[in-house]
Chains A and B, each alone.
Chain A
Amino acid sequence: MQVYLDNNATTMVDPLVVEAMLPYFSEQYGNPNSLHKFGTSSHPALAKAIDQVYTALNASDNDDIVFTSCATESNNWVLQSVFSDLIVNGDKNHMVTTEVEHPSVLATCRFLEEQGVKVTYLPVNEQGVVEAHTVRSFITDKTALVSVMWASNETGMIFPIKEIGEICKEKGVLFHSDGVQAIGKIPVDLQSLHVDFVSMSAHKFHGPKGVGALYIRNSQKLTPFLHGGEHMGGRRSGTLNVPFIVGMGKAIELATTNIEETAAKIRAKRDRLEDAITQISDTMIVGDRENRTPNTILISVKGVEGESMLWDLNKGEIGASTGSACASEELEANTVMLAIGADNELAHTGIRLSLSRFTTDAEIDYAISHFQNAVKRLRSISSSYATQQPTKGGEAKDCELHHH
């Protein structure tokens, strides 16, 4: 059996989504901007996809939802265009974000800092969540934008978007949320709260990779990021990616229809998995599960380094993820893990398991058994569980320098 528990990284494309996309590759392949029937024949499908996305998010007809190539593009667009509109061509000079954002927000903020923008990176509490009152205390009259993710990719923790939205509205500051990990996992109703911009990505809810969107409240000003022809009402140029937009529409419809019911089913499996693996001694879960996306577990397993754990899970054909520095290309400690603080060990022992609506009970049973075996084997090798104590003087100090 193989078990995919890395659905916060990407998801399987739902076969129903693939089916909806197929006619728009080799049958109805016209450019929707063309006047002839080859072009216009895809319009009904595009209109349907647009309807599906608006309905899924309960967006108002006065709002814009612009298809992009991915959420990284959507995030870059908001940050860089607000920089251009309100900082370069305005009197603002400050942005507020959090320490735990996705790299497409953090790296863009660092780039903007090089251009002279002041950026405040808000800390998170021990639950891994930014508190709304913290956001309030850092907004100044020079603040152009607040950008706070809707839910964390690492922990699944859900941020107080409604409260932050109210603060931003009161202060007259633009509010952007990276909604990638929330949309399709928890109900998102854009008319029930105040947020100016929301980024999303289809491949996180069983749609194809390479298509995302940006929600723009009330069709407000935001200078285009990609300049060119007059596509998407002039907001985002580039020939419409018809099959992928159709796929995104279908995917978001499937993910959000009866979302409470689907989420409850995923959560039941997640809770069963979580309850079983927390039976293992010396484990810790990050974040209260009442305030978490229903599919995510971030667990720290004492004495077992994250990459080793992934290695053993992979041998059992289980795909998971770790924030461990050792598993990254640059050996950089995971910023989310470090931001949660508590202890450094989490940065090296954290394992993320993320389910989907396709995860089965049999897969959960299999994963529980392999998880237990992997911990058992790796702890049998681990120095953290050795019994013979070091020779006097042979103890290690915490993180000593390599000699001298």
Chain B
Amino acid sequence: MAKADMLGESLWDAYSNKVTTLMNNPQHQGEISEAEAESRGNKLIVADFGAESCGDAVRLYWEIDPTNDKIVNSKFKSFGCGTAIASSDIMTELCIGKTVDEAVKITNIDVEFALRDDPDTPAVPPQKMHCSVMAYDVIKKAAGLYKGVDAESFEEEIIVCECARVSLSTLREVIRLNDLTTIEQITDYTKAGGFCKSCIKPGGHEEREWYLVDILRDTRKEMDEEKMKAAADAGATGDFANMTLVQQIKAVDAVIDESVRQFLIMDGGDMEVIDIKKGDEYIDIYIRYLGACNGCASSATGTLYAIESTLKEKLSKNIRVLPI
């Protein structure tokens, strides 16, 4: 939030001229009939996506030359807002002249890009990016119908954010590599969740299979478990520097019990571990003397040296022992 947000932008003012022009006068709206396609020796494919009750619906018509799989003619019908109609229109245009295999590679990002007046300015405001996603979906469906395969077979990976086309694997990797902890960070790094926001959490514009909140939580959980496992391994192998604090305290206590405490008790004293702090260079172990040791002359010299060198030898050479 800042000065620019004080007066919200008018939705329609953020549309590119191309969106406005195509909404007012779509170039490829219409139908192709079975008879027309047949009379030219071509195959007609008609695919629907969406429904009036979801707020947008599109019907895509492809007339395909069966000798070379080329889309020679294409039309659309659309129930939707201005962006949905303009997106459908430009999608149809992008399909014409391509083979089915080429057309299936068209994404919603290509559709949005084709609607831009200049390459650096988005064609629609962020919350409208979503409207172009349907174009992508209906193309996959039409291609599936033509090739007799499931539309999902064209999907190489799981897309979590449709608007920015960010995959599940990318999200997991980015969270791990950059140690991300918030949704805002994920949006900053990947743009996922920055447009229609449906993929952030349930209850948005559209129901999704995957949500960023779940992916973040699960990935963080995995990362924590891995960290724990690494620490457990460290404990088992005696890698003191990589142990958790609890493991370190147990390890220090074990060494004290085994090699130090008996000598202190013989002199009527004892000690306890107060805290362990891991610094960049040293691991500081804070201890407190008890009984006769407390105030004993050698507690700051010989005894201390003995304790520290024992711990260094058994656990880590970076240990410093600090009496308090």
Contacts and interface: CB of A to CB of B under 8 A. Distances in A.
Nearest to B20: A311
Specify which of B31, B55, B131, B198 lies most central, judged by the most chain A CB atoms within 10 Å of its CB.
B55
Contacts of A345: 52-53
A329 B50 CA distance: 21
B55 A324 contact: yes
Interface in B205-238: 205-209
B91 interface: no
Interface string A337-380: 00000011101110000000000000000000000000000001
A401 B209 contact: yes
Contacts of B276: none
B175 interface: no
A390 B158 CA distance: 27
B26 A381 contact: yes
Contacts of A324: 55, 81
A343 B52 CA distance: 10
Nearest to B32: A388
B8 interface: yes
Contact of A381 (B85, B134, B141, B151): B85
B205 A325 contact: yes
Given A325-B205, A382-B77, A383-B79, A399 B158 contact: no
Contacts of A302: 52
A327 B205 CA distance: 12
B56 A315 contact: no
Interface in B1-21: 8, 11-12
A73 interface: no
Nearest to B89: A381
Contacts of A304: 79
A400 B140 CA distance: 14
Output the residue of A307, A330, A386, A404 with the most chain B CB within 10 A. A386
Given A345-B53, A381-B78, A329 B8 contact: yes
B82 A307 contact: yes
A391 interface: yes
Nearest to B58: A383
B46 A384 contact: no
B59 to A, nearest CB: 4
Most buried by B among A348, A385, A391: A391
Contact of B81 (A308, A393, A397): A308
A400 B34 CA distance: 26
Interface string A156-177: 0000000000000000000000
A133 interface: no
Contacts of A387: 31
Contacts of B130: 331
A391 B84 contact: no
A82 to B, nearest CB: 29
B142 interface: yes
B196 interface: yes
B78 A383 contact: yes
A391 B78 contact: no
Q: Is the interface of A mostly helix, strand, loop or mixed?
A: loop
Contact of B50 (A396, A403, A404): A396
Interface string B89-110: 0000000000000000000000
Contacts of A114: none
A19 interface: no
B158 to A, nearest CB: 6
B41 to A, nearest CB: 18
A394 interface: yes
A311 B57 CA distance: 18
Interface centre among B26, B46, B204 (most CB of A within 10 A): B46
B240 interface: no
A388 to B, nearest CB: 5
B304 to A, nearest CB: 55
B55 A347 contact: yes
A57 B179 CA distance: 62
B46 A388 contact: yes
A6 to B, nearest CB: 15
A401 B202 CA distance: 13
A388 B47 contact: no
Interface centre among A306, A333, A390 (most CB of B within 10 A): A390
A345 B54 CA distance: 7
Contacts of A385: 77
A332 B196 CA distance: 10
A285 to B, nearest CB: 18
A318 to B, nearest CB: 15
Given A325-B205, A404-B152, A311 B12 contact: yes
Interface string A290-316: 000000000000111111100100110
A388 B61 contact: yes
Given A394-B47, A403-B137, 20 more contacts: A302-B52, A303-B52, A305-B84, A308-B23, A311-B81, A311-B82, A324-B81, A331-B196, A332-B205, A345-B53, A381-B77, A383-B48, A383-B79, A384-B57, A386-B77, A387-B31, A388-B34, A394-B142, A395-B48, A401-B209
5 contacts: A348-B53, A383-B48, A386-B59, A400-B49, A403-B137
The 10 closest A-B pairs by CB, nearest first: A396-B48, A399-B54, A307-B81, A383-B77, A344-B53, A331-B205, A394-B47, A326-B81, A386-B77, A383-B59
Interface of B: 8, 11-12, 23-24, 26, 29, 31-34, 44-59, 61, 76-82, 84-85, 127, 130-131, 133-134, 137, 140-142, 145, 151-152, 155, 158-159, 162, 196-198, 204-209
